[in-house]
Amino acid sequence: MSEVDLTTRIRGFLKSALTNLESRRYDRALADLMAAEGLDRDNPEVLYNLGVACCRSGDYRRSISYFRRVLDLPFTFVDVITVNKLLAFAQIQLGETEPAARDIANILKLSPDDVTLLNMLGYCHERAQRYREALAAYNRIIEIDRHNYNAYNSLAYIIATLNGDLNRALKFAKTALDASPENPAYLDTIGFVYMKKGNPDLARKNFKKALSKLPDSAEIREHLNQLLELEG
């Protein structure tokens, strides 16, 4: 097969795969991409889209292997920052926050003001209870983007968890909730802050509203149970 014919066949598989990805036909997309991989094992666009397809279908372990293969190539026209973001996302989905945090910290050297990377780094630190590092990441986010309400919410929750400046925590929680009054995560956080401040009525009101919007949330139920225990 000539190089031109090979390239044409690969482009055909890629075009079909992207159409199937857009239509959420992940099995078909994977079949197209694996056929393309069979023609060129080191094609960065094929490997990247294989990682994306696996990620979207929930096969995070497999997606990680494809993203790492892209990053291990001696040269690639695929954006390495995007690949690293998806790699970190897959690791987080698998609960592998430690390697994710290391990878994110490395790629942040290339893009230090990337809010998505900073948010993932903050989450990884928060899960590991490295609260000082998590606070630094979320504070950096709001320095870059004053309208990043998830960062305000995370700051409020961590400060309250640490029994820090609860007035500051309440200010951050209100900033987030004012922007999205029906968001169950924001309602839960402000309820948590009110509980820490010794205001059980407002805590209960917000926990119950949060739970009505997200009834399967174990975290909201846990906070409500904590409130009930405090009330005896």
Cα separation, 230 vs 85, in Å, equals 41
Cα separation, 133 vs 118, in Å, equals 11
Which residue ranges form the domains of the chain, and what is each CATH number? 1-78 (1.25.40.10), 96-145 (no CATH), 149-232 (1.25.40.10)
Dig out the tokens for 23 from the structure: 């239509």
Residue 74 DSSP symbol: S
Cα separation, 149 vs 179, in Å, equals 7
Dig out the tokens for 176 from the structure: 């987030």
Helix, strand or coil, per DSSP, at residue 176: helix
Dig out the tokens for 18 from the structure: 């992207």
The per-residue pLDDT string of the chain (232 residues; one tens digit each, 9 = 90 and over) reads 566 578 899 999 999 999 999 999 999 999 999 999 999 999 999 999 999 999 999 999 999 999 999 999 988 788 999 999 999 999 999 999 999 999 999 999 999 999 999 999 999 999 999 999 999 999 999 999 999 999 999 999 999 999 999 999 999 999 999 999 999 999 999 999 999 999 999 999 999 999 999 999 999 999 999 998 888 7
Dig out the tokens for 190 from the structure: 């402000």
Q: Are 172 and 153 in contact (CB under 8 A)?
A: yes
Give the count of alpha carbons within 13 A of 176, CB side only. Answer: 26
Dig out the tokens for 89 from the structure: 């996302």
Cα separation, 121 vs 100, in Å, equals 8
Cα separation, 219 vs 117, in Å, equals 25
Instruction: Compute φ and ψ for 204, nearest 5 degrees.
Output: -60, -45
Kindly report whether the global pTM for this prediction surpasses the value 0.75: yes
